[in-house]
């Protein structure tokens, strides 16, 4: 959830800067500057990559059968979110100051924001360590995952974690709920209580 919310925050910021780039009087001045680079990376890394991380953490218990370590996950999020914003936010003032993109060096007046961006890039690099450590250690010796750790609806959550090769094998449950069954209290499939009892006993 943290990665989903962090990605949403970054995407909103990217959207605001995108509107600025679509405004001709602004774009005339910031085109081909680091402002464009900052906007692009907020969309691609700040929003899209954080969405990928959110999906990995969401599906990890289902495809491995193990829960990940929440503390390492939160550390990964903190380093990623802070590193992303420290890395890409400084590119916007640099662009407004006129620093062109695709240059190998820069003038001294751009040094402050470039140093901050470099610190953010370093943090992003470090953030991969708790992520990989969490994936490997959780997969090898993490606590066993229940079939539905998130209390989600959907047929995949009515299978053990990890699911068997043939999924439901002989009998596929009949879906009786509508597409928006969250919070209604109604079962998703026929005989759902019996299926859930079987999963708990497994």
pLDDT at position 82 is 95
Mean pLDDT over residues 58-65, rounded?
92
Whether residue 169 is predicted with pLDDT greater than 80 in this model: the reply is no
Q: What is the model's pLDDT at position 202?
A: 64
Q: Domain segments of the chain: what residues?
A: 2-141, 146-202
Give the model's confidence band at 67: pLDDT under 50 very low, under 70 low, under 90 confident, else very high: very high
- pLDDT of 122 > 70? The answer is yes
Q: Is the pLDDT of residue 199 over 80?
A: no
Answer yes or no: are the C-beta atoms of 69 and 134 closer than 8 Å: yes
Task: Give per-residue pLDDT as tens, 8-31.
Answer: 898 898 888 888 888 888 888 888
Sign of CA dihedral 40, 46, 49, 51: negative
| pLDDT number for residue 183 | 66
């Amino acid at each position: 959830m943290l990665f989903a919310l962090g990605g949403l925050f970054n995407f909103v910021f990217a959207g605001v800067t995108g509107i600025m780039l679509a405004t001709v009087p602004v774009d005339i001045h910031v085109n081909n500057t680091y402002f464009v680079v900052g906007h692009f990376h907020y969309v691609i890394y700040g929003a899209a990559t954080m969405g990928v991380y959110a999906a990995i953490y969401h599906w990890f218990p289902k495809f491995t059968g193990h829960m990940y370590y929440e503390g390492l996950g939160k550390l990964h999020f903190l380093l990623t979110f802070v590193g992303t914003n420290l890395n890409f936010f400084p590119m916007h003032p640099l662009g407004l100051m006129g620093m062109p993109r695709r240059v190998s060096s820069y003038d001294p007046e751009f040094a402050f924001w470039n140093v901050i961006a470099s610190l953010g890039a370093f943090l992003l690099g470090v953030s991969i360590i708790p992520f990989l450590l969490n994936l490997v250690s959780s997969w090898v010796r993490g606590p066993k995952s229940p079939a539905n750790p998130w209390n989600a609806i959907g047929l995949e959550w009515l299978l053990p974690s990890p699911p068997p090769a043939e999924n439901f094998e002989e009998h596929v449950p009949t879906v009786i709920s509508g597409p928006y069954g969250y919070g209604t209290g109604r079962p998703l499939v026929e005989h759902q209580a019996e299926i859930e009892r079987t999963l708990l006993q497994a």
